Structure 1
């Protein structure tokens, strides 16, 4: 049975190619993939605080944002500041002015970094072709309603083939090694993200797309890897998304966004620590 519709923002379900990213991200009352992941890994109260609070400036975020802008040819324009760091009064003033104008502030050395990253992507035998295809569209905004919960949802894939047969998600990361990226998948919920985006496309078009992560390191030589998730990861991600929407709907209905339990919680060591203790002390782990 479907609950009341939790739809807001005045945007009807559909695919919108020309919505600015500022407008897309401003619709915080329409649940996104990052919001769904936050509901799973944190508390509803923290999610609500973030939903109703402006994001503070984060240089690490701006580097990734700038790299996306160069690769996808969309987004905020750059404001390159000729300074060695943001510590000086003049640099801070230039940064704040850029942010106030809705631009992405970058130090000159940061701009050189993201330009080198873009060049490495374009020089790669697979990603170079992928990001220069003439049958793709970047950062389209997708809006749909989850029929089970009535929750309004949104997604904004980095790049998609125009027939929706493939979605490409570009990640900047410390390590593009597939073994290391597997840890990032679990830590940041990228399996939820893939399931969320694929659900969006399938709901609106009837097509279940393929999905690939293009991962790039943020230090020279800016190496690149291409990663696809296995079926189990995507299935688990989809189930977590269902849980997140159920939590969101319950909070919207009640107006209550719970925090941590108020009672005392009993916890033990994680499995890896128990195994380590077993190896080091001879205490047998209970499994």
Structure 2
């Protein structure tokens, strides 16, 4: 594990330069909400969200070794031009003692170790990304330092039913002088950067709430600076999605129904604030849960009964040995109208 100093305390609203490690430690005046925490509430429970909060449930678990995570992290640093310093390790894998020692030494210094072949892959991704963005109207200057600011954290307060609560977001890139946010994602789904596949993936994990949450933060911070009331959906938020496999295809993806994701985000905010007010970090409601079978399971069972019955009827019509089965309707508790 790397050794770090305590995160600098954040005293007020605004955008600040803050490295990812200190941001994820949550340096807000009080434990704050983040998009990851809200996504956990959307798809899981308050108890799981509390467990993942760095200040409410501190954890010293080491980072897991993961090839795709390494490549994605390094590509992120190369694309945005900010992040931990990178140490390229000249080894084929992390299996040798020399490679393991080099990796441990790099992490101890707060740096990012990466195998040479994975660094080459991340660099190829960076080149492909900017080549493709140059051909997409409106995205020609995305992630460039001339047009915006990369890797800046934002802190603000949300008005909730339980009072004001702190919120935070780590913006990959925001345009200078414009309400524009771009979030870089490397996505290794079955169809790579395919927009439909990506959206289905983030909907399943609740990470679609990143759009309304990050947009709320930007609207609140800039509104406080200018004295304006800025609606969150006035912010132009888009995901820049890249397949980490050759030819490193890129897709610019936006939620078509931002309102729905905004509703999910608000629901999660209210759930978190209620839990904080009551100091009740509940998992499932402590009662018996009566759950209906999924519609697809019922449809499959109906089809199975019908197929079995029709098959035996066909055998009988051909004069072959057949089972005397009741019609599927005979098994219904109530007659079909």
TM-score between the two structures when normalised by the length of structure 2: 0.74
Alignment correspondent of 1:151: 165
Alignment correspondent of 1:242: 266
Residue 92, structure 1, aligned to residue 100, structure 2? yes
Offset at residue 261 of structure 1 (A): 4.3
Offset at residue 130 of structure 1 (A): 2.2
> Do the aligned residues in 1 keep the contact of 2:242 with 2:248 (CA within 8 Å)?
yes
Structure 2 unaligned spans of 5+: 1-7, 224-229, 307-327, 330-337
Deviations along 1:40-89, one digit per CA (max 9) or x if unpaired, are 21222222222222453232333222111111011111122222222233
What CA distance in whole angstroms lies between the structure 2 residues aligned with 1:129 and 1:272? 46
1:42 aligned residue (41, 44, 56): 44
Give the structure with higher Rg (CA).
Answer: 2
- Measured on the aligned residues, the alpha-carbon RMSD in Å equals 2.5
Alignment correspondent of 1:135: 147
TM-score between the two structures when normalised by the length of structure 1: 0.86
Moved over 6 A (4+): none
Alignment correspondent of 1:166: 180
> Do the aligned residues in 2 keep the contact of 1:169 with 1:214 (CA within 8 Å)?
yes
> Do the aligned residues in 1 keep the contact of 2:143 with 2:150 (CA within 8 Å)?
no
Q: How many residues are matched?
A: 275
What CA distance in whole angstroms lies between the structure 1 residues aligned with 2:248 and 2:305? 42
Structure having greater relative contact order (Cα 8 Å, sep ≥ 6): 1
What CA distance in whole angstroms lies between the structure 1 residues aligned with 2:275 and 2:60? 21
Structure 1 unaligned spans of 5+: 1-8
> Do the aligned residues in 2 keep the contact of 1:151 with 1:245 (CA within 8 Å)?
no
2:59 aligned residue (50, 53, 56): 53
Offset at residue 27 of structure 1 (A): 0.6
Secondary structure in structure 1 of the residue aligned to 2:159: coil
